[in-house]
Amino acid sequence: MTSPTDAQGPTATGADLRRGPFRVGDKVQLTDPKGRMHTITLKPGATFHTHKGYFKHEELIGRPEGWVVTNTEEVEYLALRPLLNDYVLSMPRGAAVVYPKDAGQIVTMADIFPGARVVEAGVGSGGLTLSLLRAVGDTGELHSIERREDFAAIASGNVETFFGGPHPAWHLHTGDLADRLPEVVEPGTVDRVVLDMLAPWENIGVVADALVPGGVLICYVATATQLSRTAEDLRASGRFAEPSAFETMVRGWHLEGLAVRPQHRMIGHTGFLITARRLADGVTPPERRRRPAKGAKTERATANGAAADQAVDPAWSEEWTEGSLGEREVSAKKIRRVRREVGKPPEE
């Protein structure tokens, strides 16, 4: 099969592949009269079938985006290239993806800008990676560090499929963040760090070493216990300004004549985001004045992020795993299947 890059020529870029008429190898999102969406990859000689007829892919190849194609049963489909959020929610995945609503907040709240030097840890299936690469652009630099080789392979396949090939700003590494970060970047040279992992507080020290003064750390965590532990250890480290936390909920609206109302379903809680700014070396953060809550514990975490007395909160002494946080572990069978889908099969 001819790839999108081959169709455009050896100098094609990701931006080129998002413009112009449909080409062989393009992903196309088809919307039927009931609003149902189907995603296909254009291939010579292929057809798109449903129980209500079919049409040949050649009827779209060479047509402009926004074309309406009619199948053999007179069913019309609107053809468009998938937007980034469409692609993220439909792409093959091993690990769960960061939802577009959270990825957008990460890019904005961490102030990730064109040309920025960014480190991402916990790549998963590459959904957030796509948004970060869009934000830093070709002149920026994104170092993505993933512990699992199989997740890294899936993310690589998804990123290359979306951009039509390797992205010039992307550097993918496997291993633990604490070990790999000092190897891939110089101390004090990183503008932003994005952590999507079970226990981000374990890496506060190495992240602080990598960040420039004023740099931003933003962490994506799933539960309130993770959020609390991260906040307390950021304060205890003495190397970051006061952290702030928030979550985002999205509710769609039903638009039909005079029946304009909120939809019955919404994307509620997906995760919490917590951000903090790196202080200059040798600076003591101003003491935050708070009114203590009744029964508040006075024990504080130690400077290296470990709990001063784990007996204060027994939950913090448990092992932080997907299971302990109520998440289902991804099976090896699913990982093998997804790797084949993205063109990165495991070595036998």
Per residue in 154-196, pLDDT tens? Answer: 999 999 988 888 999 999 999 999 999 999 999 999 999 999 9
What Å distances lie between residue 42 and 54, 143, 337, 339, CA to CA? 14, 32, 22, 21
**Distance separating alpha carbons of residues 78 and 66, to the nearest angstrom:** 6
Instruction: Look at phi and psi of residue 237 and say left if phi exceeds 0, alpha if psi is from -120 to 50, else beta.
Output: alpha
Sequence-distant (≥ 6) Cβ neighbours of residue 88 within 8 angstroms = 97, 99, 100, 103, 127, 130
**Percentage, residues of the chain above pLDDT 90:** 60
CA-CA distance, 133 to 189, in Å (whole number)? 18
Q: Where are the domains of the chain?
A: 22-82, 86-250+268-278
CATH classification (class only), 86-250+268-278: alpha beta
Q: For residue 44, which of 22, 29, 65 has the smallest C-alpha distance?
A: 22
| Fold for the domain defined by 22-82 | Vcp-like ATPase; Chain A, domain 2 (3.10.330)
Average pLDDT over residues 235-253: 93
d(CA 130, CA 115): 15
CA–CA gap between residue 305 and residue 202 (Å, rounded)? 7
Question: Residue 245: left (phi > 0), alpha (psi -120 to 50), or beta?
Answer: beta
* pLDDT one-digit tens code per residue, 17-52: 677 899 998 889 999 999 888 889 899 999 999 999
CB 120 within 8 A of CB 225: no
pLDDT in tens, 95-138: 888 989 999 999 999 999 999 999 999 998 999 999 999 999 99
Which range among 5-14, 37-46, 194-203, 212-221 shows the weakest confidence by mean pLDDT? 5-14
Give the pLDDT score at 329: 76
pLDDT at 266: 79
Percent of the chain with pLDDT over 70: 84
Give dist(CA 275, CA 236) in Å, integer: 15
